Amino acid sequence: MSQRHEAARPTRPRLEPLPEEQWDPRTRELLAAAPHDPEGGIPNIFTTLVRHPDLYEQFMPFGGQLLGAGRLPGDVRELLILRTARNTGSRYEWGRHLPLARAAGVTEADIDRIGEGPEAPGWTDLRRHLIRAADELHREATLSDTTWESLAEHFDEAELIEIAMLVGQYHMVAFFLNATGVELEPGVDSTGFAEGRVGT
């Protein structure tokens, strides 16, 4: 299964980021509000997705709600996103979220064991349940009763909804990134990412 996955992965971008000289006034306005890197550049995900400006315009508020205004603690959110990045084989998603995970308090030890899955030694019970939730959603498109009940001991109804929606959102983002071949920007750290999916 992982061999088929790797064979389908583009070796170069199928869609290049839209060059600035091709930005029309609407594109310029849309990208002005996009998150910028510290050096002022706009990440490739946005300059590629903006090739579909109507979709971009609707996507950004939803993604922003989950990423910047969601109810989940930052470390929980980023742990779920990083496991999803590993499950979907998305180096771009992994690399862009590593610094966010570190800033949110995900430890280097936890980052190192993300690829090992929920049975890796060293997880707290809660983080083990979160990794298992990401895996179950990836494989089965649902959560087992055991995982749901374990998470319900720590999260309220809205947060449980958000866990499922967050993992689904970052699957969708990974599908876009992988299918179009969006490349990680030079200098962005993707340490710890292993090629291929871990959740088969």
Q: Domains in the chain, please, with CATH?
A: 1-200 (1.20.1290.10)
Residue 6 reports pLDDT greater than 80: no
What's the pLDDT tens digit per position in 60-80?
999 999 999 999 999 999 999
What's the pLDDT tens digit per position in 93-148?
999 999 999 999 999 999 999 999 999 999 999 999 999 999 999 999 999 999 99
pTM of the model: 0.92
Q: What is the mean pLDDT of the chain?
A: 93
**Dihedral sign for Cα atoms in the order 161, 133, 77, 44:** negative
Cβ 148 vs Cβ 118: under 8 Å: no
Find how far residue 111's CA is from the centre of its chain: 14
- Distance between CA atoms of residues 49 and 133, nearest Å: 28
Residue type, 45: I
